[in-house]
Chains A and B, each alone.
Chain A
């Protein structure tokens, strides 16, 4: 089983609050990803990182930000949550492969965020 952990599992907060979704992996993977997924819908890549101090925005524009200060940790922050941010957020990691290929992804269990 994958050793990648997301906390909290569920989060219900009010509009305007600052939140941080935690994601940690113990596999020493260089690559980490954040996806956003609405119920029954596709996954959208919102952020990714290929290593420490390296972060990039994904294909879906997001008001969230990420940081990668340590290899194992890739938190996602929303400075001011809004109802439109209500969604499931999935964190994933993969080992380093060649730049033109990809290895399999390991996913956390996700954080279901509800902004009232």
Chain B
């Protein structure tokens, strides 16, 4: 079974709004990574957060990690149409991916 589960499965927002997506995982981790996938393409690494970190920022991205709840969240602030993509979390040395959140940002 897959390690991660993203929530929600799909999200549609207006440009300029914030988008939040969540990831839950099952076993203990050393780090958790978030990736973006544009339609029909490969994935692109966004950010990595280590198990001893609680929050990390990169540009308009903010990631939190709660190891006690085995969950992470990705916040994209001031969203743009170009942010439209699927977002996945991944954990483990074999990079087990979750089910993904499909984000659509409307102009």
Task: Give a binary string over B15-46; 1 marks a CB under 8 Å from any A CB, 0 the rest.
Answer: 00000000000000011010100001111110
Decide: A48 near B43, CB < 8 A? Known: A42-B2, A102-B31.
no
> CB of A116 within 8 A of chain B?
no
Task: Give a binary string over A94-116; 1 marks a CB under 8 Å from any B CB, 0 the rest.
Answer: 10000111101111111010000
Pairwise interchain contact B42-A43, C-beta atoms closer than 8 A: no
B104 contacts which chain A residues (CB < 8 A)? Answer: none
Q: Smallest Cβ distance from A34 to chain B, in angstroms?
A: 12
Pairwise interchain contact A45-B94, C-beta atoms closer than 8 A: yes
Task: Give a binary string over A40-67; 1 marks a CB under 8 Å from any B CB, 0 the rest.
Answer: 1111110010000000001100000000
Nearest A residue (CB) for B35:
A105
What CA separation (Å) do A104 and B85 show in the bound complex? 19
> CB of B96 within 8 A of chain A?
yes
Decide: A42 near B90, CB < 8 A? Known: A101-B31, A105-B35, A107-B44.
no
Instruction: Return the contact of A43 from the options B33, B92, B97 (Cβ within 8 A).
Output: B97
Nearest A residue (CB) for B41:
A109
Our count of residue pairs bridging A and B at CB distance below 8 angstroms stands at 65
Number of interface residues of A (CB under 8 A): 29
Q: Which residues in window 9-54 of A have CB below 8 A to B?
A: 33, 35, 40-45, 48
Pairwise interchain contact B45-A104, C-beta atoms closer than 8 A: yes
Pairwise interchain contact B33-A104, C-beta atoms closer than 8 A: yes
A: which residues have CB within 8 A of B?
2, 6, 33, 35, 40-45, 48, 58-59, 88, 90, 92, 94, 99-102, 104-110, 112
8 additional contacts (CB under 8 A) given A42-B2, A59-B96: A33-B94, A43-B43, A44-B2, A101-B93, A102-B93, A105-B33, A109-B42, A110-B41
Q: Can you show 14 pairs from A to B with CB atoms below 8 A apart?
A: A40-B86, A42-B97, A43-B88, A43-B97, A45-B94, A45-B96, A59-B96, A99-B93, A101-B93, A102-B30, A102-B93, A104-B45, A107-B44, A110-B42
